[in-house]
Amino acid sequence: MEIKICGLTRPEDAALAAELGADYSGVVLYPGSPRGVGVEQAAAIFAAAGSALRVGVFVRPGIELLDEAVEKAGLNVIQLHGGESYEYINEVKERFPGCLVWAARHIADADEIESALSCPADRLVLDAANGGSGMVCDWSLAARVAAARPVMLAGGLNAGNIAEAVKSVNPFGVDLSSGVESGEKGIKSHIKLKEIFNILREIR
């Protein structure tokens, strides 16, 4: 099971996450987010993250921003988090063949499962309705999607619920953000990071 630490804003947090075993380091390249960073700051964060793959999270980005981020921050993954159309997702995949393209989706009811399964993204990130809010998504619906295609489970995951979440959904990976923060958005708690990685080592 892969692990992504997202919403990073400090190189030291990225360095510790990578040391503990994170497969992906994620930054939010969206100025409207309290965890948002610029491209140059993202590059510095990634530089501290060793071999962890680099994920840029965007909300309805312009192509110019994607071009800049891929070039200057060396992205491995473009994660679209603004409900972008399937047509746009395909355009991004065609423009950046060297990057994986992930798409965040909130599955509110069973009727939305079929739509999620047809999404052309390389991987789905199943999140709560308000990403980064600490709220969890519906694990029973997420499990039905995860049974059919690889997903990253996100949404309010923390040391108190991660084992149950993984058991319930059986995701390809988990995406951690607010649940490993110190209380200030974007600032990771090194104690919480170590705690949750200890749990994940036992259940991976």
Residue whose C-alpha is closest to residue 23's, from 176, 188, 186 = 176
Residue whose C-alpha is closest to residue 150's, from 125, 129, 176, 113 = 125
User: What band does 110 get if pLDDT is binned at 50, 70 and 90?
Assistant: confident
Q: Give the number of C-alpha atoms closer than 13 A to the C-alpha of residue 68, restricted to the C-beta side.
A: 12
In terms of Cβ atoms closer than 10 Å to its own Cβ (0-12, 13-18, 19+), residue 199 is: middle
pTM over cut 0.85: yes
Q: Which CATH superfamily is domain 2-203 in?
A: Aldolase class I (3.20.20.70)
User: What band does 111 get if pLDDT is binned at 50, 70 and 90?
Assistant: confident
40 C-beta neighbours (distance < 10 Å), count: 11
- 188 strand-pairing partners: 181
Give residue limits of the domains in the chain: 2-203
Task: Find the DSSP H helices in the chain.
Answer: 11-20, 39-47, 63-73, 86-95, 113-117, 139-146, 162-169, 190-203
Structure tokens at 116: 């999620």
Tell whether the model's pLDDT for residue 129 goes beyond 70.
Answer: no
| Backbone torsions φ then ψ of 167, nearest 5 degrees | -65, -40
User: What band does 131 get if pLDDT is binned at 50, 70 and 90?
Assistant: low
Q: How far from chain centre, in Å, is Cα 102?
A: 9
Give the dihedral of Cα atoms 178, 123, 29, 20; nearest 10 deg.
50
> Angle at CA 17, nearest 5°, toward 53 and 35?
80
pLDDT at 37: 98
Question: The tokens 């840029």 sit on which residue?
Answer: 56
User: What band does 133 get if pLDDT is binned at 50, 70 and 90?
Assistant: low
